[in-house]
Amino acid sequence: MKKYFSIGEMSKLHNISVETLRHYDRFGILKPEYINENTGYRYYSTKSFIKIYLIKQCKAIGLSLEEIKEIINDYTSLDSILNIIKNQKEIIDKKIIELNSIKNSIENLEGSIEEALHVGINEPFIKHNPKRIMKKYNYTHRYTEEFEMQLRKSLLEIEKEYNNFNSKIAFETSLKELVENNNVIHTKTMIGLDCTLSEDEEPVVVLPEGDYITFYFDDNFYDNKKYYNKVLEYINNNKIDVIGEFYEIHEMTRVSKDGETKSLAKIEILIR
């Protein structure tokens, strides 16, 4: 006599939930051998074992139920199966690139937070940086609605062009204005990417390799002026010869449930 298995038995035998088996039935990729008309119970035979194994194999490589259904319906065509597998391999390759990019972003952020905690927030120190290249934008009227709209547009363009989701917003700030007028005046807006940019990808700003006075602060970015003055005080007290402008680079911005913002950022300036 032919052996039949209830849906509960199939669930235990193959480590698949009862609801998943019902879903496979509704989707048309794993029909029961028969359904009891009186009870509505589903029953399966050993024929379903191979099909479940196939479905598990396909799920393991990330195929959708629609693709699995296509393989089952066209099971004699190796060409069809090969095309589906090749397509899935391309999708996985793209995901690997995306995941590596995400991992790189996490490691960069992790390094910045660890560095800030190690040297101390609000404590100036000297750090050697490699050459860095950032995208340059000419809108500089920070804290305005127009600026926010332009910035969001630029971030979206970078996301699409470079597949970059963890950009660092940065500003070039005039040393002369701070020294002569005690004003924080931004002369450029910049966006730093986790991927490497070329100097040929105009417009860009090149931050030269060298030793930089570096100062981390963790505060509302509207209150940055006092931190610029602390850096300037450190320069004057230690009679350090600097060159170029300040760079204010935001590592991570947080928002509370009440909408209050706080940003881990650093101010840098190159030592001559």
CATH code, 220: 3.20.80.10
Would you state the pLDDT for residue 244? 94
- Asked if 151 and 224 sit in the same domain, the reply is yes
Would you state the pLDDT for residue 172? 93
- Asked if 132 and 254 sit in the same domain, the reply is yes
Residue 2 pLDDT exceeds 70: no
pLDDT tens sequence across 158-192: 887 877 667 888 999 999 999 999 999 999 998 88
Give CA–CA dist 126/106, Å, rounded: 24
Would you state the pLDDT for residue 176? 94
Whether 45 is covered by a domain: the verdict is yes
Whether 212 is covered by a domain: the verdict is yes
Whether 84 is covered by a domain: the verdict is no
Contact call for residues 174 and 232 (beta carbons, < 8 A): no
pLDDT more than 70, % of the chain: 97
Cβ density class 186-208: b for 16+ within 10 Å, e for less: bebbbbbbbeebeeeeeebbebe
Give CA–CA dist 257/198, Å, rounded: 39
Q: Which domain holds residue 43?
A: 5-75
Q: Mean pLDDT of all residues in the chain?
A: 88
Q: How many domains does the chain have?
A: 2
- Asked if 193 and 130 sit in the same domain, the reply is yes
Only one residue has tokens 């924080």, namely: 184
- Asked if 20 and 130 sit in the same domain, the reply is no
pLDDT tens sequence across 213-263: 999 999 987 888 999 999 999 999 999 999 999 999 999 888 877 778 888
Would you state the pLDDT for residue 201? 72
> Quick one: pLDDT band at residue 199, thresholds 50, 70, 90?
confident
- Asked if 34 and 164 sit in the same domain, the reply is no
Of 43, 75, 107, the residue at which a domain comes to its end is: 75
Whether 114 is covered by a domain: the verdict is no
Whether 263 is covered by a domain: the verdict is yes
Of the candidate ranges 24-33, 41-50, 73-82, 158-167, the one whose mean pLDDT is the lowest? 158-167
CATH number, residue 58: 1.10.1660.10
Would you state the pLDDT for residue 1? 46
Whether 190 is covered by a domain: the verdict is yes
Compute how many other C-beta atoms are within 10 angstroms of the C-beta atom of residue 182.
Answer: 11
Give CA–CA dist 163/172, Å, rounded: 25
- Asked if 66 and 153 sit in the same domain, the reply is no
Give CA–CA dist 24/131, Å, rounded: 55
- Asked if 53 and 138 sit in the same domain, the reply is no
Whether 252 is covered by a domain: the verdict is yes
> Quick one: pLDDT band at residue 264, thresholds 50, 70, 90?
very high
Sign of CA pseudo-dihedral 100, 106, 107, 109: positive
